Amino acid sequence: MSEYRLTTFWCVDVRRFDDGGIKVNVYPVKAHFLPEHEDVENNLCTQTRDYYITYPEAIYVQNILETVNSCMAESKVKDC
């Protein structure tokens, strides 16, 4: 049986709050295989974790989410 090497994947962790705000973080995750999408709800927020193979992909998604959030905050409209 061959051993699988640990690979660095990139997690985009998005927390959506009741007031409409979001917080986006990108961080590395070491795993043998690309982790699956995760959704977690708690008393403070809904948390989503998506995993990407490359850092530029993860940063691209982070930038899109932060831009949409900024647009929504400025216009106070939910369908920006």
Q: Provide the whole-model pTM.
A: 0.83
Please name which of 3, 4, 22 lies closest in space to residue 14, comparing C-alpha atoms. Answer: 22
Asked if 17 contacts 45 with a C-beta cutoff of 8 angstroms, the reply is yes
pLDDT on residue 1: 43
User: Which strands make up the sheet holding 45-52, listed edge to edge?
Assistant: 22-31, 7-17, 45-52, 38-41
pLDDT at residue 4 greater than cutoff 90: no
Residue-wise pLDDT tens digits, 49-74: 999 999 999 999 999 999 988 887 77
How far apart CA 57 and CA 35 sit, in angstroms, is 15
Residue spans of alpha helices (H) in 1-80: 55-75
